[in-house]
Amino acid sequence: MANSVQIKCINRTERMSPHERITHVGGYVSSQWKITLNDAIGKIESGERAFFVQAHRRTVGVIVAVSPSGKKYLKTESDGDQPDTLLRLPECP
């Protein structure tokens, strides 16, 4: 079973495409952490780690999705095609 960690912040680019905007995800438990989008995708796909966010007082899983152009990105299980819930998180330091 993968260790589940809460994503509490993101870093983003200025790109307009929501599938390309997030570059890093992060959070804190006993210490602050931040990893690249590609590292997070790899950890989810390998089963090493699971991620979630708190949205509207409920826990929502983060999954790997594929854009129409074939690019992998992260979104929550409750999002449509765009990672709206993640894009609402604050910027990571």
**Domain residue spans in the chain?**
3-87
- Unique residue bearing structure tokens 């604050």: 90
Question: pLDDT digit string (tens) for 54-76?
Answer: 988 899 999 999 988 899 999 99
For residue 2, give the nearest of 51, 47, 63 by alpha carbon. 47
Q: Is the dihedral of CA 40, 37, 53, 83 positive or negative?
A: negative
Query: For residue 31, what pLDDT is reported?
Result: 87
Instruction: Over range 27-49, report the average pLDDT.
Output: 94
pTM of the model: 0.89
